[in-house]
Amino acid sequence: MKKRIRIIDIAEKAGVSKGTVDRVIHKRGHVSPEVKKRILEVMKELDYRPNVIASALAYNKSWKIAALLPNPENDAFWMQPKSGILKALNFTSDYGMNVDFYHFQDANKQHFQNCCDQILSGAYDAVLIAPLYYKESHQFLNECDELGLKYFLFNTFLERTDLSFQCYIGQDSYQSGVLAAKLLDFGIENGDAVMILHLEKGVYNAKHLLAKEQGFQNYFIEHPNRNIQIIKTSFEEPKDSPAFRKFINYQLKSYPNLKGIFVTTSRIHHLVNVLSDIHTKKIKLVGFDLISNNLTDLRAEKIDFLINQNPVKQGYLGILNIFEHLVRKKEIAKIQHLPLDVVMQENVSYYLEADQHMHMMI
Amino acid sequence: MKKRIRIIDIAEKAGVSKGTVDRVIHKRGHVSPEVKKRILEVMKELDYRPNVIASALAYNKSWKIAALLPNPENDAFWMQPKSGILKALNFTSDYGMNVDFYHFQDANKQHFQNCCDQILSGAYDAVLIAPLYYKESHQFLNECDELGLKYFLFNTFLERTDLSFQCYIGQDSYQSGVLAAKLLDFGIENGDAVMILHLEKGVYNAKHLLAKEQGFQNYFIEHPNRNIQIIKTSFEEPKDSPAFRKFINYQLKSYPNLKGIFVTTSRIHHLVNVLSDIHTKKIKLVGFDLISNNLTDLRAEKIDFLINQNPVKQGYLGILNIFEHLVRKKEIAKIQHLPLDVVMQENVSYYLEADQHMHMMI
DNA sequence: TTTAAACATGTGTCCGAAAACATTTTTGTA
DNA sequence: TACAAAAATGTTTTCGGACACATGTTTAAA
């Protein structure tokens, strides 16, 4: 095996000292044009590739990163991105990467802004953020832009002028709607009806929910020969309440040929609670996210499919992209859509175990 | 942020020199029991975690790894694990990991053995192998055991006494059969029939195919209320031949209520060719592997589901496990089943793009 | 022509761990 | 008790690159 080319090899071949080669590599200036040209030629000729290991060791500085996401203690979902972040650190900490977590309280915008302020004054090299609150997030990112603080979005996409974010890592909401439609379509007959059900507040302000709806509808529009009726509904507070029961009962009565329901968020387990009491003929269900309540229903064959948004991987790739950018100084892709995994009782264990493998995906 | 604990920090706290600490860490001996005990205590107390970067730099040796798999030029499938291996190297080469590829010609056992002999005399630190030929592979691995050469299996599982392999990375064949059954089950009605179709030679010597069959059958056994008829068949040479057409035609006539077919390998596209001519009523199809011919049929909605065995990831994790073992000296899991991805027209792009993200999963 | 600022280039130390090498302490035996 | 062998412990160099610092050379103003 050939010995790897070092700086000193270049220096010798170019007849200069390693200091001069270093100045060329790091564009520190103070090198005469001719010498610079010669060194660059030798570098190309010998195909110099820096030793990242030695470089990281010598650099001997640490990178400060802030991670801004909801508090996992309030909403267990967020434990998953957090665990992905921690896994990525397991490896990147060797390179001096450090993450401070800022967990904002759900539905507490004031607290969100406090976190933002702390980050802005914290001398960070990069921020990884789940920009849940539209207006507040934009404001924060504007301030980041002014400060020159680099930010990486995950989970929720925010349109930014000039694509000033470093990258977005998350799902393609539109396509997840298409996928849900196809799954239900596979399990129903010509002429059946399917329902798209939002169980959230403020649906028509949430772009990602609208995108899911669009995708779902468009699938059936593009498959007109299936002759499927689409029902669009929403219910804001899907607790196990009389009101919710009444609502569902009403829907079932109104649409006797209803064979499938697509719930656009992770709240499908609320629907299962109510449906299983009513004990109607089997209605096929597609929802999102491997949270504990949903997993129970999936294993009991009450939910047919859960579309997985890879939350662990989102956190993991978030940190890894920051690493690639800061440490390895590589170009990274602006938009990184993660696979939409189709999870069923029969393959769910792999997606839960996937975390195990990930620790080594250095 | 707390400074990371170094060897010198332990040495100072334990009142010895770093040389002594080093001897304890590397079990080089020549340390008195009391001092050793004290150092180990301090290490635990300070939660010492070695700096892999500095360690790799100082070690300054390279690891020789052999990768033994079929020639991708004969069977394009094997390009995928190979590309996973190369991606893993993109990062691990910084740590001195080097891979030599040994590609055996498909169905040429003599050539396989030549490769094995070369590896055995090549002074390798580890072997990553896809043990396709049962007998020959066992023989080779026996010789590895004698030599003390560590081997890592992927793609195909081989039972070894004492679990002498370092790890197996691949799919769970049985479970993939269960998954296929559930997918078809979702799309058919009570009383319909489904077929399991092997399009390979020597099926009853191929444990993984039998395992798929078992899983498929057991799913329906455990769902008796569905009342699904299972038909087991096989055809060895699924070219676009009159014989194959006749065979398929015969099956369709014999089982008029046939609504789904599960092909146990990647050869489902051969079935599609024949079926699409016959133009019968829609029969739902589930097969394996994102190879080019299958992708075409999936996109044309002629195949409903492809179960993906993550071939790229298999190669990737193969190298990463070797890295964890050799370089980081970590314990690794003996059996690592990769997710069984359910791939459809609507999410196939992510699985093809997944390779892009992977480059950074250092 | 002198001289110092500006520029070009060279040298040395450091990062943390590994391992060769050097020194000190203990042990056993004459 | 003397002394060499063995065991225990300490010191130094090395890995490749980053960067501070030192030295040498050119340029321009006095």
Q: Mind listing the pLDDT tens digit for each residue in A244-272?
A: 999 999 999 999 999 999 999 999 999 99
Asked whether residue B177 is assigned to any structural domain, the reply reads yes
Asked whether residue B187 is assigned to any structural domain, the reply reads yes
Which uninterrupted H or E stretch holds A197? strand A193-198
Q: How far apart are CA B75 and CA B225, in angstroms?
A: 42
Please report the pLDDT score of residue B90 as a whole number. Answer: 79
* Residue B179 contacts A, CB cutoff 8 Å: yes
Please report the pLDDT score of residue A359 as a whole number. Answer: 41
Burial label for B72, CB within 10 Å (0-12, 13-18, 19+), is middle
B339: nearest CB among A330, A345, A354? A354
Please report the pLDDT score of residue A99 as a whole number. Answer: 94
Say how far B4 CA is from C25 C1', in Å: 33
Give residue B324's identity as a one-letter amino acid code. E
First to last CA, chain B: 25
pLDDT(B116) > 60 = yes
Q: What share of chain A is helix, strand, coil (3-state, %, to 5)?
A: 50, 15, 35
Asked whether residue A208 is assigned to any structural domain, the reply reads yes
Q: Looking at the 3D structure of chain B, how many domains does it have?
A: 3
SS3 B276: helix
Asked whether residue B112 is assigned to any structural domain, the reply reads yes
pLDDT(A20) > 60 = yes
* pLDDT, tens only, A156-193: 888 887 777 889 999 999 999 999 999 999 999 999 99
Q: Which long-range contacts (CB under 8 A, 24 or more apart) does A328-332 make?
A: A328/A52, A330/B360, A332/A166, A332/A167, A332/B360
Is A192 found in the same domain as A289?
A: yes
Is A162 found in the same domain as A287?
A: no
B271-307 exposure pattern, b = at least 16 Cβ within 10 A, e = fewer: bbbbbeeeeeeebbbbbbbbbebbbebbeeebbbbbb
pLDDT(A295) > 70 = yes
CATH of the domain at A146: 3.40.50.2300
A304: nearest CB among B186, B333, B339? B186
Residues of B in contact with A319 (CB under 8 A): none
Q: Under a CB-based contact definition with an 8 Å cutoff, are residues A179 and A169 in contact?
A: no
Is A69 found in the same domain as A30?
A: no
Is B261 found in the same domain as B304?
A: yes
Asked whether residue A350 is assigned to any structural domain, the reply reads no
pLDDT(A299) > 90 = yes
Closest protein CA to C1' of nucleotide C10, residue: A17
* pLDDT, tens only, B242-289: 899 999 999 999 999 999 999 999 999 999 988 877 766 689 999 999
Those residues whose beta carbons lie under 7 A from strand C are: A 15-20, 22-23, 29-32, 35, 54, 57-58, 60; B 4, 6-8, 18-19, 22, 25-26, 50-51, 54-55, 57-59, 61
Q: Give the percent of chain B with pLDDT over 90.
A: 69
Q: Which of A78, A90, A203, A57 is nearest to A128 (CA)?
A: A78
Asked whether residue A344 is assigned to any structural domain, the reply reads no
What is the average pLDDT value for chain B, to the nearest integer? Answer: 90
Chain mean position to CA A223:
30
Is A302 found in the same domain as A315?
A: no
A189-213 exposure pattern, b = at least 16 Cβ within 10 A, e = fewer: eeebbbbbbbbbeebeebebbbbbb
> Rounded to whole angstroms, what are the CA distances from A154 to A84, A136, A151, A342, B21?
12, 16, 10, 20, 43
* pLDDT, tens only, B205-247: 678 899 999 999 999 999 999 999 999 999 988 877 889 999 9
Strand partners for A69: A103
Is A164 found in the same domain as A105?
A: yes
Task: Give B5 or A361, the one with higher predicted confidence.
Answer: B5
Task: Give A345 or B92, the one with higher predicted confidence.
Answer: A345
Q: Mean pLDDT over residues A278-286, rounded? A: 80
* pLDDT, tens only, B86-95: 988 877 888 8
Sign of CA dihedral A131, A134, A138, A139: negative
Asked whether residue B347 is assigned to any structural domain, the reply reads no
Q: How far apart are CA B65 and CA B315, in angstroms?
A: 13
Residues of A in contact with B339 (CB under 8 A): 341, 347, 350-351, 354
Q: How far apart are CA A157 and CA A170, in angstroms?
A: 8
Query: pLDDT-derived band of residue B23, with 50, 70 and 90 as boundaries?
Result: very high
> Which of B64, B93, B94 is best to mutate for the A interface (most A CBs within 10 A)?
B94
Say how far A123 CA is from D17 C1', in Å: 26
Residue-range definition of the domain harbouring residue B29: 7-50
Task: Give A266 or A281, the one with higher predicted confidence.
Answer: A266
* pLDDT, tens only, A187-222: 999 999 999 999 988 777 778 899 999 999 999 999
